[in-house]
Chains A and B, each alone.
Chain A
Amino acid sequence: MIEAYILHLLIFICIYAILSMSLNLITGYAGMLNLGHAAFFGIGAYASVLIVMAGFPFWLGFIAAGAIAAFFGLLLSVPALRLRGDFLAIATLAFGEIIRSILVNWTEFTRGPLGIPGIPKPEIFGIAFDSLWMYFILAFIIAAVAYFVLRHLLNSNFGIALKAIRENESVAASLGKNVNLLKMQAFVVGAFFAGLAGSLFAHYITFIDPGTFVLGETILMLLMVALGGMGSLEGSILGAIILILLPEPLRFIGLPSAVVGPLRQIIYAAILIVLVIKKPRGLLGTQWFGGIVSDSN
């Protein structure tokens, strides 16, 4: 029993680790504050589910989830090239809300607010991932692949150039880096992995509705990134682990029914404030992020 509980948390950690790593690529490495990441997550989830439920195999839906999310990442990178800091944050927030609005209103396609129930567990080349152990293995492999791919990318010239952009865009440009292209690539790759996470999430949870992919979800991912440390993939994983586990001990506080929910949230928020004030660079962050702050003044 407790095994199922732990496996479940581990699966969530894998999914959210992918999300926070991909967000870290965009926000932590490339320095573009993205408040619309949940939209990529949702696009991936819906794409995968609609494709699989139309009768196509899971692997196709899974890859399409990434590809379609990546396409939207490309779209969103257009404003990203022109905007900075808070402005970009607000633009991405708007993007997320517009996507949510479309998911809600385009009922012929998405079933709107009713959501899509009965999503099948994945099957890849005859192997069914229907037990918790199997699903955990699948999620773990995908998260591990995501980590190694991203690490490889970020340790290559691409990653170094991204960090250079974040630190000082004009220096990076004068070093001959194509700043616009790099930013675009960061968005596309980040969105791609978020889309994959969406597929993984949808087939695990078996029911999706537009209410799942909202601003609150992006905020959770951002908290993971900030807590773990911006510009640190390992930090994002740690952030995901902590923020998935943090609410769990709070479940043991026995309180009257009307009090328990809000009080938990209050404790959660208070812990966050303290953590962020005491460790503003995140637990594993190594860099001083001067770039965005100094640019705005």
Chain B
Amino acid sequence: MKKVLLILKNKYFYRLTRGDEKVNRRIILISAAVIAVGLVVFFGLNQMGLAGLSAPEGAGGTVKIGIMLPLTGDAALYGESIGTSLELAKEEINAEGGILGREVELVLEDSACNANEGVKAINSLVNLKGLKLIIAAECSGPSLTAAPVAEDAKALYLVAVASNPDIKYAGDYVFRIAPSDAQQGKDIAQIVYDGGFRNTAVLFMDNAYGEGIAGVFMEEIGRLGGKVAIKQRFNQDDSDFRTQLLKTKETGPDSLFVVGYPQAYQLIIKQMYELGLNAQIFAGDTFKEASIVEALGDKVEGAIFSAYAESNSEEFRRFKEAYRKKYGKEYGPYGDYGYDSLYVLKAGIEYAKSFDPEVLKEKLYGVEYRGVTGLTKFDSYGEVDKPFGIMTVKDGMFVPYEAG
């Protein structure tokens, strides 16, 4: 028996140790090869000036703008609508002679709605491709992690839409054309209170967006003198809300404030009706998505939600029409902000008469641009104060809400 064990021992241990030595030689060879190939590829690309590796300022003809959005992952829906709206703005601008005579080119990077991917995306844009003008859209995580990288590279970082209040303090090169969530939560709380609702159930998604708005909302409702009947979180991939709604029903609220993505709104309202829960629905700005009304029909009549855009302006109607003409469908969530962000950048560049971020970061404070989303005028933090529109669903259309 002992002998058998010894043989086994030799068999295993000898093979294992010898294997490791062989590995060491191979690793050196392989890593050297990888590094060599890597360097050749990098500098080869650099030489050829492929895909914007060379400085974008030099060549005259075009101006390249880096766009960071979620093209995959949980928020890909927003990336898609913002991206297509930006594309529309680009075409319009180029058709009218570009910015200061230079044609606009968009370079897209996927931030996947993930803090980690955001850093990789911004690095590729500012450090590898050498872009100096960045528009970032959606998801607070990547917007927050990417901002310091842009700041270090001295690139202008214009946030089209991302909700986290902390973006305010992200840096000198950081501007945001959408108001932060703090405002939205307050505005909708006021509407709830003014509407005479005193017992509101709150149901929100467990990410920065849901948590942010719901937090401010509950605080404000308490301050005003209303009551939160019950607060509940849900997972953003969840599709079964029946028990949460049953719990809500048991507390007998007169109104329900929901913050989620369109998918969740649709299912929550559907399951609410199925379970026979009747309460006035209030929702966040993500509610403005045509498919919700398409799927639910008259069940969403009268739902009240906050909306980013000033939706009855001339600019807004023109954008909506142009989008429908180009893509054959209604624009998606935050498309209006994506569209505006490029125009704000254009206005800033034309005002400063320069593409240089150093100049732009000073001059942007002087810009006043009236666009699809209302008036963009930056305060000393590079933030805007746009009042949230309050909207409602009437005859299957999104219309401005009028109290009373």
Chains A and B in contact, CB within 8 Å: yes
Candidates A1, A12, A107; contact of B120 at CB < 8 Å: A12
B19 touches A287 (CB 8 A): yes
> Which residue of the partner chain B has the closest CB to A256?
B87
Binds A, one of B45-53, B92-100, B188-196, B369-377: B45-53
Also in contact, A206 and B148, with CB within 8 A (given A117-B166, A211-B141, A234-B24): yes
Q: How many residues of B contact A (CB 8 A)?
A: 73
Q: Could you mark each residue 1-23 of chain A with 1 if its beta carbon is under 8 Å from any beta carbon of chain B, else 0?
A: 11111101100100000000000
Query: Could you pull out 24 A-B pairs where Cβ atoms are within 8 angstroms?
Result: A8-B119, A107-B211, A113-B211, A114-B212, A115-B115, A118-B166, A160-B16, A163-B12, A168-B12, A205-B115, A209-B115, A209-B208, A212-B114, A235-B27, A238-B34, A245-B38, A251-B51, A251-B128, A257-B80, A261-B112, A262-B71, A283-B30, A286-B20, A286-B22
Report the bound CA distance from A241 to B130 in whole Å: 23
Q: Separation in Å of the A274 CB from the closest CB of chain B?
A: 18
The SS class assigned to the A binding surface is helix
Indicate whether B244 reaches chain A with its CB closer than 8 angstroms.
no
CA distance A117 to B165 in the complex (A): 10
Query: Is A108 an interface position by the 8 A CB rule?
Result: no
Measured between beta carbons, the chain A residues less than 8 angstroms from B304 are none
Q: B127: which of A2, A107, A171 is its contact (CB, 8 Å)?
A: A2
A201 to B254, CA, bound (A): 46
User: Is B277 part of the contact surface with A, judged by Cβ < 8 Å?
Assistant: no
B243 within 8 A of A: no
Q: Does A294 contact B (CB under 8 A)?
A: no
Instruction: Please give, as numbers and ranges, the residues of chain B lying within 8 Å of A160 by CB-CB distance.
Output: 13, 16-17
Candidates B112, B120, B130, B144; contact of A207 at CB < 8 Å: B144
Q: By DSSP majority rule, is chain B's interface helix, strand, loop, or mixed?
A: helix
A126 to B70, CA, bound (A): 39
Given known A-B contacts A160-B13, A254-B51, A258-B83, A208 and B127 have beta carbons under 8 A apart? no
CB distance from B216 to the nearest CB of A (A): 11
Once bound together, how far apart are the Cα atoms of A245 and B70, in whole Å? 20
Residue of B nearest to A107 (CB): B211
Interface hits, B26-82 → A, CB 8 Å: 26-27, 30-31, 34, 38, 41-42, 45-46, 50-51, 53, 67, 69-72, 76, 79-80
* Cα(A234)–Cα(B108), bound, Å: 35
On whether the beta carbons of B83 and A206 are closer than 8 Å, the reply is no
Chain A contacts of B110 at CB under 8 A? Answer: 260-261, 264
Assuming A118-B166, A209-B115, is B210 touching A113 (CB within 8 A)? yes
Question: Does B227 belong to the interface (CB within 8 Å)?
Answer: no
B403: interface (CB < 8 Å): no
Q: Which residue of chain B has its CB nearest to the CB of A172?
A: B12
Query: Smallest CB-CB separation from B123: which chain A residue?
Result: A8
- B: residues with CB less than 8 A from A are 5, 8-9, 12-13, 16-17, 19-20, 22-24, 26-27, 30-31, 34, 38, 41-42, 45-46, 50-51, 53, 67, 69-72, 76, 79-80, 83-84, 86-87, 106, 108-110, 112-116, 119-120, 123-124, 126-128, 130, 140-141, 144-145, 148-149, 152-153, 164, 166, 169, 206-208, 210-212, 215, 233
Contacts of A114 in B (CB 8 A): 164, 208, 211-212, 215
Choose among A12, A175, A257, A287 the residue that contacts B9 (Cβ–Cβ < 8 A). A175
Tell me how far the C-beta of A262 lies from the nearest C-beta in chain B, rounded to whole angstroms. Answer: 6
Q: Could you tell me which residues of chain A, from 199 to 256, have a CB within 8 Å of some CB in chain B?
A: 205-209, 211-212, 217, 229, 232, 234-235, 237-238, 241-242, 245, 247-249, 251-252, 254, 256
Task: Please measure, in the bound complex, the distance between the C-alpha atom of A209 and the C-alpha atom of B5, giving whole angstroms.
Answer: 51
Interface residues of A in 175-219 (CB under 8 A from B): 175, 205-209, 211-212, 217
A104 touches B12 (CB 8 A): no
- Check A5–B83 contact: CB distance below 8 A: no
* Known pairs A113-B211, A264-B72 / 14 extra A-B pairs, C-beta < 8 Å: A2-B127, A8-B127, A115-B208, A175-B9, A207-B115, A207-B144, A211-B115, A229-B23, A245-B34, A261-B71, A261-B72, A262-B72, A284-B30, A286-B20
Bound state CA distance, A287 and B12, in angstroms?
11
